[in-house]
Structure 1
């Protein structure tokens, strides 16, 4: 079963996460499909840029706790987005949680509509946003990162734009993105690729320097007693044992 829909319009390849019944959670299969679709877009000379979007009310709910992806595969997917020699634009009209923010932050440009909400909920289930910190921390305002990494609070698109997670927030996400996509269509393939490399160089260096250490940290945290209790509480829709 395919979980990623693909369509082309005037040089823009749209990849649509299509697992709405699981809130587009990042399973092993979904991560593999998105990675393959991005590889295909990168190799297609008719594709000028990629737009990443979703069906349903959730862009991505983070890792699928029942069938999580290998952390190395998630890091490889985020790095693929950052390193792709074509711009990747995120179109968000729904909710984004936990690991989904890593997917979002890896994109070069992003827009969120009024129905979008965001939260880094890892600390609430006994872990930390370890591997997704690679693309997130270079984007986020430092004070905001400290707040939302620690509290797990939900915030909206205007706040997401203020702190650097989103590029644009608007009542109509397609209207907001129209000049962006038009601008990308006007860029030469070489010009876009080389301009993107200037912007992403330090992020890619962080992936290559810290990726393995953060995967190891993530694996250790997910194997802990706190994580077992936190994930069980989440799946049972109850407070974890440590909640006051």
Structure 2
């Protein structure tokens, strides 16, 4: 699945899943635009990739601010001449129970996770329309569309909303040859998940049929497929990458 000569614009790419996506796209030959609110963090990841012989730049943008995204896209185009692939990966998951959740708690998650998806697509769309094989791949989650977790009702709603978004977006953008798909990660071992503690990690791994947490490379591989030439006839679809986590009815089924 060569990405040689293509430019990929990845939001939320300075750490976690986004950093893993950036690394794998770079290894497959893409020009990688690493986008994060913290420009220094984005630049640090880009510098590391460049030191390993890959093409990468670090850019600053807040996905809840369309103007900053448009500026970052313009900067990527000024350097690489094009944007062929958008990986809309930026997302946050602060915990807030229903009874205590404030309007501000709700809004910050929706603005980043859901409105940020829309703004990322809109900012990249003029360049994606020029590409011979424009691709949009969104990082959703099993939480919301399939499962639930206490304290994450706003997060779950935002992730389910992304799936509703891709189905209509796929129809509207098909006339430009642009495909729109989503990857739905389960529990992936990132800095954020590690912060849940060793006991949580061990219990979660035990509940997964494959008996391990996912890696950022597992998600990146699914992203690479959706972004590839081979997936040119796949649009409006989702793929769950969770080691079988959503399958068992109970822990007894896992064995």
Fold conserved between structures, TM > 0.5: no
Provide TM-score, normalisation by structure 2.
0.31
